[in-house]
Amino acid sequence: MPKKVGIEVSLAVSEAVCAADVDVIPAYPVTPQTHIVEHLSELVADGELDAEFMPVESEHSAMSACIGAAAVGARTFTATSAPGLALMHEIVFIAPSLRTPIVMVIANRALSGPISIWNDHSDIMAQRDCGWIQTFAENGQEVFDLIIHAFRVAEDPEVLLPMIVNMDGFTLSHVIEPIELLSASEVSQYLKPFEPQLVLDPKNPVTMGPVGVPELYTEARQQAESVLNGSKKVIVRAWKEFAKLYGRSYKPIETYRTEGAEVVLMTMGSVTETAMTAVDRMREKGIEVGLMRFRLWRPFPHEEFRRAVRGIKALAVVDRAISFGAQGGPVCSKVKSALYGAPYQPQVFGFISGLGGRDITVEMFKQMVKKAIRYAKKGEGPVYELIGVRER
């Protein structure tokens, strides 16, 4: 039986990657990197992990090397954050197009400017449409488990897509939490060796990444889109098998005290735990409020979402990034579009909060819920609003 240990979440990420027995870790080792690859380089140097650690000259090169490694059939991992992810941007789109099942952890942080190193979701939202499977973790244990799950899903012959596991920078990445670490032998029951469908091999030559002329590009994109949407059943199945083996169960969308709720908060990532406290306190006072969280962000779980909102009067969607000029945040925009034409449509109110490392407190969640209740009664509210902005 695995034992719980107190460990910094970044180090637990390295332990998960080690337990998954990866073969290649290309990474830019300097800031904005976390302790993840620092500890992985130690594990490789100490002989605890038999892998190639490639300290490359930039994140653009890191992702390029990841694609090369996965293309020869290596289990591949990398990690980055905000500006590092932005520098990867060009190559991030190529990985799913080549169907290379890389697993990447992103310690979510704000994009500059003004210069910020702190936590929000603006880095990943700028990569939202890149074609990777994307999950969001709430706590350290979930980060660990989602990494093991990510290798299983990404390498599934029906999927063969890269996968991003998002965890909040600092709030999770630099915090010590009690985490049950699975050993390599425990993980091996769940994660079989990677069996690539196509590999770069001089004895059996193939060309990966050829030009997509106008006559073929659309068809190639249809393949990428179809595989990503189809991956949801593999994602859910892999979570069910994870629960059978290790006892922790995960779903695309989690709900908390939504029974009979007038307003339901919608969150992603670690702020969910603060939101739970806010929900508990408001429930004690008789306010009918619940909470819903997206764990799976891409492919977006449309059916599960429409089922989950049935009977709910209003949603208060909390975004941790601004979609500039769109008048809202990316999560709220997606929620609204997912409800268009749905047989049951709750009212939706968008709130943007927790930008660039500012905490979202219990009081702020309460404020959002109260506003949403007021707007719902009136039947209208602002298109979106920022919570916690100082006016003077």
* Cα(264)–Cα(222) distance, integer angstroms: 35
User: Taking the complex as a whole, how short is the minimal distance between the CB of residue 216 and another protein, in angstroms?
Assistant: 7
| 213 touching another protein, by CB under 8 A | yes
In the list 193, 212, 230, 311, the residue contacting another protein (rule: CB under 8 A) is 212
**Site for another protein contains 379 (CB under 8 A):** no
| Contact with another protein (CB under 8 A) among 46, 57, 219, 284 | 219
- Binding piece for another protein, criterion CB under 8 A, among 15-23, 142-150, 222-230, 272-280: 222-230
Q: Is 203 in the site for another protein (CB under 8 A)?
A: no
Amino acid, res. 343? P
**Looking at beta carbons only, is 117 or 199 nearer to another protein?**
199
Q: Closest approach of Cβ 298 to another protein, in Å?
A: 18
- Verify binding: residue 205, another protein, rule CB under 8 A: yes
Nearer to another protein, 54 or 227 (CB): 227
Point out which residues pair with 5 in neighbouring strands.
Answer: 179
Joined tokens for residue 22: 């990866």
- Contact yes or no for 148/16 (Cβ under 8 A): yes
Nearer to another protein, 104 or 143 (CB): 104
- DSSP, residue by residue, 89-149: HHHHTHHHHTT---EEEEEE-PPPSS---S--SHHHHTTTTSS-EEEE-SSHHHHHHHHHH
Q: According to the binding rule CB under 8 A, does residue 112 interact with another protein?
A: no
As measured in angstroms, the least distance from the Cβ of 71 to another protein is 9
Helix (H) or strand (E) holding 5: strand 4-8
Can you tell me the distance from the alpha carbon of 48 to that of 42, in angstroms, rounded to the nearest whole number?
Answer: 9
Distances in Å between the Cα of 246 and the Cα atoms of 1, 178, 236, 362 are 9, 16, 15, 32
The rounded Cα 140 to chain-centroid distance in angstroms is: 13
Are residues 44 and 53 in contact, defined by beta-carbon separation less than 8 angstroms? yes
Residues 3-62 that bind another protein (CB under 8 A): none
195 part of the interface to another protein, by CB under 8 A: no
Pick from 45, 72, 176, 216: which binds another protein (CB under 8 A)?
216
Binding status of residue 391 toward another protein by CB under 8 A: no
Quick check: 215 binds another protein (CB under 8 A)? yes
Q: Which residues bind another protein (CB under 8 A)?
A: 97-100, 160, 197-198, 205-210, 212-213, 215-216, 218-220, 222-223, 226
